[in-house]
Amino acid sequence: MSRQDSIEKLASNIERYFERHASRCLVRALAITLVCAGSIAGLSHYFVSSQFTTIVAFGVSSFISLNAAFIFFVPSTRRRKEAQQLILMAAADPSAIENVSPGVIALRGLNGDVRELNKVEQQAWKELVVPFHCSMHSTSLSEGRITGERALTRSEIRQFKEQRKELAATEARMREDREALEIQRGEIASLQQSLSAEQESLERARNEVQERSDSLQDAENMVITRLSEIEIAEAEMEQMRENISVEQAAASSKADPEYEARLKAKEVELEALRRSLDEDKFMVEQQKTELNQLKGELIRSTDSEDAPGLTADQSLAIREQALAEQLKKLQEATSELEERTQYVNEVEDSLVDRLNAISEREAFVEQGEINAGLRED
């Protein structure tokens, strides 16, 4: 029997199933109507004792009970047709089955809406659709065995074995490559951490050198200011001496005590400025010494042996350039590692697909040999 004939037979069986269910519901509704109407008529006759009242009560209660029973117990024709169409579509196209679990069967209709089957529809599914699917599956398997039975030759079997060996060797190489990639990944991570630490150390050293240079510049500016003040004080004192000499030559007498006092005060002020200048020079020299020591330590922390005679700024620039080159190499190594990892993953996926294909072919060949009587299971 062809698949189309089986589907048509299933459709007729589903239709008869729902018709029988509707008939049972109709009988049940009539029985409920008779029971309700008879009970109400009996009660009416018992309390009223009037045949007319009893007949009227029986008729009215029968009408109401029959309509209520039809509404609650007898399924509508439209709903029955929709259920038949939904179940038949899912039987013909299993992709319309959305969910099958204990007590729940959900199917997807033509408009994409998902609807769960009620108990009656689930019973029809279990009694009619499930055997239909089992029958179709067994038919397809038997047709596949009939059309695909063929014994493999020795060369084909040998080729299968060689392919399996090649795949096993490839798989072993891929495992080794993956382990090597993991080791390289760890080395790159450790190198990246060391480069980050070195970059932070270099940045701290740069900031410290800059702070010392700024402090030294401030001290030098202060020394220049003090020198300017000393020059101004010396010029004022020289002018005062000239004024005293002129007055002494003009008056041929002793100098004015006020000028002499001012001159001595200027000399004291000049001496104080000179002492302050000496202290500032000492401070500047000390800061220069500390800055040179810091630059010397920075030079010694780098590979200054390869380029002797460089200044601290040149050594720092060389160190920054080397660090930038190392970071660039690290980025290139990371990119290469990612490319190799992607290649390994693709090869592994291809390897798994080939292994699955060979396993399926071997199982199919073994089943064909068993069916042909060439070997025993």
Helix, strand, coil percentages for the chain (3-state, nearest 5): 85, 5, 10
Please write the tens of the pLDDT for every residue from 222-276.
777 767 777 777 777 677 667 666 665 655 444 456 656 776 776 777 777 777 7
What pLDDT is attached to residue 305? 45
Determine the 3-state secondary structure of 2 from DSSP: coil
Give backbone dihedrals phi and psi of 367, rounded to 5 degrees, phi first.
-65, -40
At residue 201 the predicted structure's pLDDT band, cuts being 50, 70 and 90, is confident
Here the tokens at position 64 are 């109401």
Give backbone dihedrals phi and psi of 109, rounded to 5 degrees, phi first.
-85, -170
Please write the tens of the pLDDT for every residue from 133-155.
777 766 665 554 444 445 556 77
Please write the tens of the pLDDT for every residue from 74-132.
777 788 788 878 888 877 777 778 777 787 788 887 777 788 877 888 787 888 888 87
Instruction: Check: CB of residue 128 under 8 Å from CB of residue 354.
Output: no
The secondary structure of 104-163, three-state, reads EEEEECCCCCEEECCHHHHHHHHHHHHHHHHHHHHHHHHHHHHHHCCCCCHHHHHHHHHH
The mean-pLDDT minimum among 60-69, 136-145, 315-324 falls in: 136-145
pTM above 0.75, yes or no: no
Determine the 3-state secondary structure of 373 from DSSP: coil
What pLDDT is attached to residue 253? 46
The secondary structure of 180-196, three-state, reads HHHHHHHHHHHHHHHHH
